[in-house]
């Protein structure tokens, strides 16, 4: 079937994101699916422009050679930002629509929290966007709703089980958990067999259990004070950060304090992102730990009998959603785990499917949340370890202005004109700031991948500054450093970047890829390795709570899991005010927690909000609908970014890369 990539109608000055997206005419998603090689029975349509991709695609193409695997990351974000999502989309448009390579963007699904809160949409920006952007930014195909439903079913199961165990004898629990049929027989459900196996009771006939075995089977004895599982909602609602459940007449005896998280912080989201098949997701959901028993044993979703039901609620969510860019290149949108508490990467399954469809000479570009010290390190050590996939190349996104800020430039305040340090040539300030970029380049090279620096150039960036950036990037070990303008020009503005990525993939042997640490190190040793090797810390200080948790998880057999550091994204250190490359600091670990289903231990370096709050002027003030046409109005980045229009301009003195240069954290 013939396929022609849509041509962009570039307008100067560049209109708003939603104006660009609304003026575009998406191709029918069926046409995109056929073009990339999907069969009719491998897609489930969700309207004209979205479709779920069946996991059977992986089985059909299991013998196909994988394409080149590229991750987009960045320096530590600043208020000027770098534009990783926009770069990811622009790069794929360049590879596909301009260089005629099979290319796929694999990106996270945005949360409703930032969409209606501060950050706004996450479809890219300018002429490098995913469309239809309103469908992308809102309900899409309901995956986050499925996660919310599954998470809260498990929450209900926890409190209900505590109530029933507290009000019934062993005999009563047994009678209700394993009831007699009309003929007087009893039988275990499959999930009950799982619990029996865990308990070491090798029996399948309920009538053969002893009283002691029945008691062990029916009583989970969850410690209400140590439950780690929270309810979730995909809305920025600060008043749910601390709640009391159990206020009903029959439940008052069991009241306890707990809280809500935002849905993308649910462990179920991390499970979705890290599972490799439906059976793998079933096992991961079942082994999620909700807290310990009073005896200190981990209590899982399968112990509560709910692992299978969680999987049923997630059976459609496990399939990635196929969408398209403004230039008709394919995008697989799947999962959106928190980049602090979880690993901040889209799904393994989306990458698996894309790599097979791309084939030997194709490219799959995925994005890692936050800077390379968080997102990229977790991509390599957690995501790639779970998938077994080996990346070829990492693209690290930066701007000269942001690097000057890391070099000690004046603070940037929204609505205030930029200081002359950012608009005039300042080689000394830039050279100091490039230390942050150089540090990240050297870190990325430790994993054995090629490294390409992508820089959005502004008219105020002098030739000497550009040359200094290129020279120091190469000195730090980058394969190349490339200027690009995909926000204003779409894929055409990222052609040189695409060529640099092609060359880096050719120059890099995937077999050289390696992890930062082996899993058989202790929890402490793995934490210390990340702190020293990636952040540049002198050492690590563990609180008493952290020490106790490490001992508990080691005793429970969870010490061989990878580490997912929960740390500020704004600095290489734990202090967000320390820019550049901080030295002479000790990394404080205040607590250590575990996501056993997802498969990682996450140390808390600082206080992390797991449900954001709304600002005084949220994005929803701008969002409405034209009741005559049904067209969504105002779904774009937040007002704060609009204020920055007067301080961010491109080489034509038009409004510059607003979306590309503002990269608020996903939880903000």
Catalytic site residues? 84, 86, 108, 119, 339, 370, 458, 487
Q: Cα–Cα distance between 75 and 376 in angstroms, integer? A: 10
Using CA atoms, how far residue 232 sits from 144, 145, 432, 610, 618, in Å, is: 11, 10, 43, 10, 20
Secondary structure letter of residue 40 according to DSSP:
G
Q: Cα–Cα distance between 254 and 256 in angstroms, integer? A: 6
Helix (H) or strand (E) holding 60: helix 56-60
Q: Which residue has the tokens 């165990």?
A: 165
CB atoms within 10 A of CB 557: 10
**Is the link from the previous residue into 13 a cis peptide, with omega within 30 of 0?**
yes
Q: Cα–Cα distance between 150 and 268 in angstroms, integer? A: 8
HSE toward the beta carbon, residue 380, CA cutoff 13 A: 28
Q: Is 350 within 8 Å of 52 (Cβ atoms)?
A: no
CA–chain centroid gap for 338, Å, is: 5
Helix axes 278-286, 267-274, angle to 10 degrees: 150
Contact residues for 358 (Cβ-Cβ < 8 A; gap 6+): 66, 67, 68, 102, 103, 104, 364
CA–chain centroid gap for 525, Å, is: 25
9's tokens? 């109608």
Q: Cα–Cα distance between 93 and 398 in angstroms, integer? A: 19
Q: Is 71 within 8 Å of 394 (Cβ atoms)?
A: yes
419's tokens? 């200081």
């Amino acid at each position: 079937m013939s396929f022609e990539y849509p041509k962009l109608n570039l307008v100067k000055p560049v209109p708003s994101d939603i104006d660009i997206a609304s003026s575009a005419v998406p191709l029918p998603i069926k046409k995109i699916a056929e073009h990339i090689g999907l069969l009719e029975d491998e897609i489930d349509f969700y309207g004209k422009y979205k479709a779920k991709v069946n996991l059977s695609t992986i089985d059909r193409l299991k013998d196909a050679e994988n394409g080149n695997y590229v991750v987009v990351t960045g320096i530590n974000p600043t208020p000027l930002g770098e534009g990783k999502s926009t770069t990811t989309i622009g790069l794929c448009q360049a590879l596909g629509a301009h260089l005629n390579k099979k290319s796929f963007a694999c990106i996270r699904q945005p949360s409703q929290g930032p969409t209606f809160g501060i950050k706004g949409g996450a479809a890219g920006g300018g002429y490098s966007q995913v469309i239809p952007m309103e469908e992308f930014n809102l309900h899409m195909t309901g995956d986050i709703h499925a996660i919310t439903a599954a998470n809260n079913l498990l929450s209900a199961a926890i409190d209900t089980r505590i109530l029933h165990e507290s009000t019934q004898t062993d005999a009563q629990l047994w009678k209700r958990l394993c009831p007699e049929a009309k003929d007087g027989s009893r039988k275990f459900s499959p999930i009950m067999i799982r619990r029996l196996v865990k308990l070491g009771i090798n029996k399948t006939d309920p009538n053969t259990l002893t009283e002691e075995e029945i008691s062990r089977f029916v009583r989970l004895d969850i410690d209400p004070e140590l439950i780690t599982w929270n309810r979730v909602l995909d809305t920025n609602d600060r008043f749910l950060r601390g709640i009391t459940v159990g206020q009903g007449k029959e439940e008052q005896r069991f009241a306890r304090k707990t809280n809500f998280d935002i849905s993308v912080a649910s462990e179920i989201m991390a499970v979705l992102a890290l599972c490799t098949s439906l059976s793998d997701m079933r096992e991961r959901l079942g082994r999620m730990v909700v807290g310990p028993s009073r005896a200190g044993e981990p209590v899982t979703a399968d112990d509560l009998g709910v692992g299978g039901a969680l999987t049923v609620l997630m059976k459609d969510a496990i399939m990635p959603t196929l969408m398209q860019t403004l230039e008709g290149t394919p995008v697989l949108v799947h999962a959106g785990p928190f980049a602090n508490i979880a690993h901040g990467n889209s799904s393994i399954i989306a990458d698996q499917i894309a790599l097979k469809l791309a084939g030997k000479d194709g490219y799959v570009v995925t994005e890692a949340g936050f800077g390379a010290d968080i997102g990229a390190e977790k991509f390599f050590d957690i995501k790639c370890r779970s998938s077994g996939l080996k990346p070829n190349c990492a693209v690290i996104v930066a701007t000269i202005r942001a690097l000057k800020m890391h070099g000690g430039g004046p603070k940037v305040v929204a609505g205030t004109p930029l200081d002359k340090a950012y608009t005039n040539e300042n080689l000394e300030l830039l050279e100091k700031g490039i230390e942050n970029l150089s540090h990240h380049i050297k870190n990325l090279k430790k994993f054995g991948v090629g490294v390409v620096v992508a820089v959005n150039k502004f008219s105020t960036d002098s030739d000497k500054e550009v040359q200094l950036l290129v020279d120091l990037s190469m000195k730090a070990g980058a394969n190349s450093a490339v200027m690009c303008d995909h926000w204003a020009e779409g894929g055409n503005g990222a052609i040189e970047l695409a060529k640099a990525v092609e060359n880096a993939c050719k120059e890099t042997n995937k077999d050289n890829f390696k992890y930062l640490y082996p899993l058989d190190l202790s929890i402490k040793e793995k934490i210390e390795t990340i702190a020293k090797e990636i952040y540049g810390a002198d050492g690590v200080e563990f609180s008493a709570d952290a020490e106790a948790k490490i001992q508990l998880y080691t005793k429970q057999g969870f010490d061989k899991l990878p580490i997912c550091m929960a740390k500020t994204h704004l600095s290489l250190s734990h202090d967000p005010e320390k820019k550049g490359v901080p030295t002479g600091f000790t990394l404080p670990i205040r607590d250590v927690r575990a996501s056993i289903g997802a498969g990682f231990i996450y140390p808390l370096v600082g206080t992390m909000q797991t449900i954001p709050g709304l600002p005084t002027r949220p994005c929803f003030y701008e969002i409405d609908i034209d009741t005559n046409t049904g067209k969504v109005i105002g779904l774009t980045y937040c007002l704060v970014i609009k204020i920055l229009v007067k301080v961010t301009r491109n080489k034509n003195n038009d409004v510059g890369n607003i979306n590309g240069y503002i990269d608020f954290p996903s939880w903000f």
